[in-house]
Amino acid sequence: MHFASDNAGPVHPKILDALAAANEGWAIGYGNDPLTQRAIQRVRDLFEAPKAAVYLTATGTACNAILLATMAKPYDIVFCTPEAHIHEDECNAPEFYTGGAKLSLIESRDALMEPAALDAEMTKRGSWGVQGPQPGAVSITSVTERGTLYPLDHIAEIARIAHRHGTCLHLDGARFANACAALNCTPAEMSWKAGVDAVSFGGTKNGCMGVEAAVIFDPETAWEFELRRKRGGHLFSKHRFLSAQIDAYLADGLWLDLATAANAAADRLTRGLTSCRDTAFRWQPAANMLFTDMPRSLHRRLHDAGAVYYVWEGTLDGDPSGTATARLVTDWSTPDDAIDRFVDIVSQT
């Protein structure tokens, strides 16, 4: 019963096989090998973006931070939500890579950025002249950090505001595949067709070992990404082993299959918990992440039974009838019987 994170499950066997296959013989380093070219082409094909610049990094934080550094200057602001991974969970990586840009928090509802609040803040900041930092970029995440999804027209609205203020829109797609699967849309529809300028297209949380693709639809500033990646220490010498992951991930729709499986597991869990008296979802689950309130006594029983997950809000200490919030995440490998066992324990209350 492992629901702590989608980065805690195993790598999919096809990805591992691809690593072994890529290990045949000698390959020039730093991304100048044929496998890298093929992987990049696959990303372009997936996004229906033949001119897009595509770069691989091993971590999502690197992908996000380097992309933001190509979009925002040190004297700029990056607008995001209070829940944003770039704000909460990256130990100031965006500030580091941008050379000191400021993250400004825009009001959100269900972890989705409020367009009106964004517009108001950008208007205010844009009128300040040299005294204050300038609007630099907007960054949103989908699947959000609370498990919710941006409808495509919501993304489009954010993009229009960002562009009207002369900035770019970045999409943190650590769970991009899960969002596509849930919305039943294409990667192009969820990105450039909705006005997104650059995507961190995640692989790590969806069955890869460690790879994210930075996709920049206007390749004009691509060279800058490459240099910033290198000076960040993120250009892999044995680059083929990043490329092999992406190559296998995009072959035969594996990326979508894995996300679909993860979402299905979450759906099974959601349906199971919905009927339980003692649980209450904080946000309506939409992809592969659930937040649910439960009594402390129930948490303890689950932990005693071996369930692993983060207590996202509250603590397990204190009055047993008090509640604390569980964060439950599924991935492609989550077994049905683990879900059923979990639901079983919960429903016994």
Torsion of Cα atoms, 6 then 271 then 268 then 88, to 10°? -10
**Residue among 36, 81, 108, 134 that touches its own copies (CB under 8 A):** 134
Site for its own copies in 144-183 (CB under 8 A): none
The number of residues making up the chain comes to 349
Query: Do the beta carbons of residue 246 and residue 56 sit within 8 Å?
Result: yes
Q: Residue 62 is which amino acid?
A: A
Burial of 19 (0-12, 13-18, 19+ CB in 10 A): middle
User: How many Å apart are CA 47 and CA 115, to the nearest integer?
Assistant: 25
The CB-of-195 to its own copies minimum distance in angstroms stands at 26
Residue 317 interacting with its own copies (CB under 8 A): no
Of residues 19-48, which lie at the interface with its own copies (CB under 8 A)?
A: 19-20, 23-30
**How do beta strands 102-105 and 76-80 pair?**
parallel
Q: Minimal CA–CA distance to 145: which of 305, 257, 345, 310?
A: 310
What the block records as the tokens of 123 is 């208007």
Report the alpha-carbon distance of residue 22 to residue 240 in Å, rounded.
Answer: 7
103 binds its own copies (CB under 8 A): yes
Among the candidate windows 81-89, 138-146, 148-156, 177-185, which touches its own copies by CB under 8 A? 81-89
Candidates 234, 296, 299, 327; binder of its own copies (CB under 8 A) is 234
* Segment contacting its own copies by CB under 8 A, of 126-134, 165-173, 192-200, 284-292: 126-134
Q: Minimum Å distance from CB 349 to its own copies? A: 26
CB nearer its own copies, residue 38 or residue 160: 38
Q: Is 78 in the site for its own copies (CB under 8 A)?
A: no
Return the residue of 52, 93, 111, 329 that touches its own copies, per CB under 8 A. 93
Residues 200-229 that bind its own copies (CB under 8 A): 204-205, 209-210, 224, 226-229
Binding mask 265-304 for its own copies (x = CB under 8 A): ----------------------------------------
Question: Can you tell me which of 53, 113, 133, 168 binds its own copies, judged by CB under 8 A?
Answer: 133
Q: How far is the CB of 274 from its own copies (least distance, A)?
A: 25
Indicate the residue among 51 and 238 with the shorter CB distance to its own copies. 238
Q: Should residue 321 be labelled a site residue for its own copies when binding is judged by CB under 8 A?
A: no
Using CB under 8 A, which residues numbered 242 to 261 contact its own copies?
Answer: none
- For the chain, the distance separating the N- and C-terminal CA atoms, rounded to the nearest angstrom, is 18
| Tally of CB atoms within 10 A around 46 | 23
Q: Is 306 in the site for its own copies (CB under 8 A)?
A: no
Asked if residues 347 and 276 have their Cβ atoms less than 8 Å apart, the reply is yes
Taking Cα atoms as reference points, which of 65, 64, 74, 68 lies closest to residue 133?
Answer: 74
Candidate list 34, 45, 51, 74; residue touching its own copies; CB under 8 A: 74
Provide φ and ψ at 200, rounded to 5°: -90, 105
**8 Å CB contact between 117 and 106:** yes
Strands (E), the chain: 53-57, 76-80, 102-105, 108-109, 112-113, 134-141, 168-173, 198-202, 212-216, 280-281, 289-295, 310-313, 323-329
Smallest distance, Å, CB 255 to its own copies?
Answer: 17
Q: How far is the CB of 214 from its own copies (least distance, A)?
A: 12
* Residue of 122, 111, 46, 110 lying closest to 85 (CA atoms): 111
- Sole window of 88-96, 115-123, 251-259, 280-288 interacting with its own copies (rule: CB under 8 A): 88-96
Of 97 and 291, nearer to its own copies (C-beta) is: 97
